[in-house]
Amino acid sequence: MPAQPHVLTSTPEWQTLGELRERLETVVMKDLFRDDPGRAKRYFIQGAGLSLDFSKNRITDGVLDALLALADRCSLADRRDALLRGDHVNVTEDRPALHTALRNPGNDSILVNGQDVVAEVQRTLARMETLVSGVLDQSRTGYTGKPFTDVVSIGIGGSYLGPKLVGEALQPYAQGGLRCHYVANIDGTEICETLRQANPETTLFLIQSKSFRTQETLENSKVARSWFLKQAQDSEAISRHFMAVTANVPAAQDFGIDPDNVFPMWDWVGGRYSLWSAIGLPIALTVGMDNFRELLAGAHAMDQHFQDAPARENLPVIMAMLGIWYNNFWGAETHAILPYDHYLRSLPDHLQQLDMESNGKSVTQSGEALGWQSGPVIWGGVGANGQHAYHQLIHQGTRLIPADFIIPLTTHNPVANHHADLFANCLSQSRAMMAGKSLDEATAELRAEGMPEAEVARLAPHKVIPGNKPSNTLTMAKVTPHSVGALIALYEHRTFVQGVIWDVDSFDQWGVELGKQLGKGILPRLLGEDTGQQASDSSTDQLIALFRSAGGA
């Protein structure tokens, strides 16, 4: 993909946005709502079953036009088409990023290095179907003939976060009662606590690693294999209990996985975009293949919306450009993801990797230092819990924190007035962020309580909520396989659009490599092996000595 033929900050569109930012300094959203009864309706769009109210943003039609003009200047439509048709948009690794092909039900072939990606995807889905139906109908059993009760998915990063999020999100669709556990960290506690809950005779292990080189996953898998063999006492039994999803088939075979039990991954799928591939097996084993296909259909519907909807009505484009507005013109350093739904509790974790690993970059596609900010810190948590914790800083802290509120209109678990209460909480937060509370209002409230005037004057400033804090509200009819697919694909495309504007490679992640390299030198020293390793720095040396003096190994 060629580099942008411009310096972003020198474009007329960027200059216009800078001027608009100055003009909006004193504009208050509350006044915009008061003066324009049609505002909410005008800034409300829908696609793939999701609705976005983006009226509580510091924008005018002029700002929106200018943001979309910037997207045009960055050739967004061409870059989107290049992504979808399989051009090598991952420039540093010289390969496509074809996660959209994983959820494309069409039969038109897409060739990557002479290989028909679409046929590969269909073949893999059929193999997944065979495994899933065999496990769920109990025709496929463990080595003693007992049906499976537990699945342990071992993987980290993109081979963990997406499946965990969706597996939790689709609990209402669970079939077969399999318990799915996820082990990611190289922390003995995680694997040991998981294995304590499992029975080797009835546990299926999925080793999820695109590279099959990831230390955490390999070490945890070895522990799982030893634990299993200790009871099974027969290495032949491994083939009934261990599966792998990987692009590195020889390494999986070396580990002892039967080639028939290896599901493919491909170079043209990035780890953080891989839940739609066989990496999604824990999801399919939880909810069955029909629901897994519905998940893919939801994501595909969002792909089509992204491709076809005009920019002004395009959910990923609008959300991405609003993010650019706050990140690059208002100095926002973070972006909060606030799902008001227990099933979506791991969404912030997944989006953290998706967005921060994709757009946490400092050079352009052609390797020049960026002259502008790239991806923000993504964080968040489930509402209303956050309201009793970090929302204080959102409302009254000194930083500007744009937020996405995400909430289904109906619940799988109607009980008392809970869902209306939850919805009221969500709306009250976005309204409080937008409207705030003025000094006059705070003063009047305190006076109404009958407080002495001196106390009123002392307390009122502490009760002021500045307001004018931006947020989006995303809704869906219900948390379903389709809506969850659409939601995740929406954020994938939002991330892509921002990467286009910033001119970064959103599909590599070189920054995570250095720690891995250094770890290889540090480990032998922690274990007291004399490797002739040079000392690193006095801090690292001191901490190594501390670990060894405590007998930490």
Ligand X SMILES: O=P(O)(O)OC[C@H]1O[C@H](O)[C@H](O)[C@@H](O)[C@@H]1O
Question: Is the peptide bond between 384 and the residue preceding it cis, with omega within 30 degrees of 0?
Answer: yes
From the CB of 247, what's the least distance to ligand X, in Å? 8
From the CB of 213, what's the least distance to ligand X, in Å? 6
Radius of gyration for the chain, computed over Cα atoms and rounded to the nearest angstrom: 26
- Residue 99 has which token pair? 């996660």
Q: Are strands 334-339 and 377-380 parallel, antiparallel or unpaired?
A: parallel
Backbone angles phi, psi at 349, to 5 degrees: -65, -45
The one-character DSSP state at 2 is P
From the CB of 379, what's the least distance to ligand X, in Å? 18
Secondary structure class of 246 (helix, strand, coil): strand
CB 194 within 8 A of CB 183: yes
CB 74 within 8 A of CB 497: no
Distance CA 345, CA 360 (A): 23
From the CB of 245, what's the least distance to ligand X, in Å? 8
Other Cβ atoms closer than 10 A to 318:
27
Is there a catalytic annotation at residue 99?
no
Q: Please, which residue, 217 or 480, has the CB nearer to ligand X?
A: 217
For ligand X, the binding residues (CB under 6 A) are 156-159, 209-211, 214, 217, 271-272, 357, 509, 512
- Residue 173 has which token pair? 């669709």
CB 128 within 8 A of CB 136: no
Distance CA 370, CA 358 (A): 15
Q: Please, which residue, 90 or 217, has the CB nearer to ligand X?
A: 217
Catalytic residue among 168, 357, 361, 391: 357
Catalytic residue among 222, 418, 516, 520: 516
From the CB of 130, what's the least distance to ligand X, in Å? 23
Handedness of CA 119, 121, 122, 128 (dihedral sign): positive
Catalytic residue among 22, 25, 230, 388: 388
Q: Please, which residue, 56 or 95, has the CB nearer to ligand X?
A: 95
Q: Please, which residue, 49 or 163, has the CB nearer to ligand X?
A: 163
- Residue 228 has which token pair? 């299993």
Closest CA to 223 of 205, 239, 243: 205
Q: Please, which residue, 248 or 373, has the CB nearer to ligand X?
A: 248
Is there a catalytic annotation at residue 516?
yes
From the CB of 179, what's the least distance to ligand X, in Å? 23
Is there a catalytic annotation at residue 388?
yes
Distance CA 73, CA 502 (A): 12
CB 501 within 8 A of CB 73: no
Q: Please, which residue, 210 or 419, has the CB nearer to ligand X?
A: 210
Q: Please, which residue, 214 or 314, has the CB nearer to ligand X?
A: 214
Q: Are strands 50-53 and 471-476 parallel, antiparallel or unpaired?
A: antiparallel
From the CB of 212, what's the least distance to ligand X, in Å? 7
Which residue spans within 274-410 are E strands per DSSP? 334-339, 377-380, 403-408
From the CB of 374, what's the least distance to ligand X, in Å? 17
Q: Please, which residue, 444 or 512, has the CB nearer to ligand X?
A: 512
Secondary structure class of 276 (helix, strand, coil): coil
Amino acid at site 147? P
* Catalytically active residues, by annotation: 357, 388, 516
